[in-house]
Structure 1
């Protein structure tokens, strides 16, 4: 598994089996598969809706132990030195505070404008970069939320009435039309799709 999150949701057809920590969901899925599932079992990462796969071989204790070991394994060490590592010996003089000096090439009018800002060119550039970064993060958050909702909807609701209209509403950021389009979906699918889409609409 390569998922970055630690929670997921499993469905047997359109019925939600379990939602929560990987270990708990895996054990619930194991019970379903061992009794002989009547519908396909799909497991979705709670943030990305990417499929999650578990190794369910062995006993419940073996599955639990295997998943716990995978999630708590020691991280891969990086032997390369990090110049910003706080544990590295410091030289004399003023602390660097993580500031990295790089060359920036601008036209004279750009430098004139930057130098006229309070705090000078460096402060102005940092503020501009931070503002652009935050704006980009908002856009990326919405895009990732749309992709997660669409991925789940395609897997479980692609044949349900209102799917195409719901997809259009999702990417148009039309929360009311989205809610109306999924109103007739099975309860568990409706609830999970609405939860995922709410992130794209800015509700959470």
Structure 2
């Protein structure tokens, strides 16, 4: 089976990267991670990639005079490895419209909330403050607006009595580790396609939009 070449961008520990690495070990998984890139040389995600025998690169944003120059260098490194789809996994840089449009419908992100709720940072604290009963995570195609774009899939987790931001974050992270590889597989196999700013899935059992129960 021909596999889609993907690059993963990280800035930190890379736990979602590890979930993708583990999934890609399966011969039937439709994606091959050909490159892991970080804007920080000390990101632990780079070590995860090295252990797995995956090529790595550091493109430090501080080495460039502006965001556009940084993204041009980033784009060049990604394309040099034959990348077809780019996955953000804790990449802590806001990308400009130039980059997001250059990779339109080929750039995927995971966000720790049920979008469109709680865009931005501190999602778990804000969910608790709002008193929601259900929280979770979303995987979506990236658009120029922050945490916006057609949603590939979501996983819901309950908000429990006595939850703190840390306990809720851990429960959501466990869901992320299951959801992200599934959604990346849908994108790489051509079963998730954007039509009219919605994702249409060629997966009969999930219907038009993917909602996963991480406890299945």
What TM-score range do you get, normalising by the shorter chain? under 0.3
TM-score (norm 1): 0.27
Greater C-alpha radius of gyration: 1
More strand by share: 2
TM-score with structure 2 setting the length? 0.26
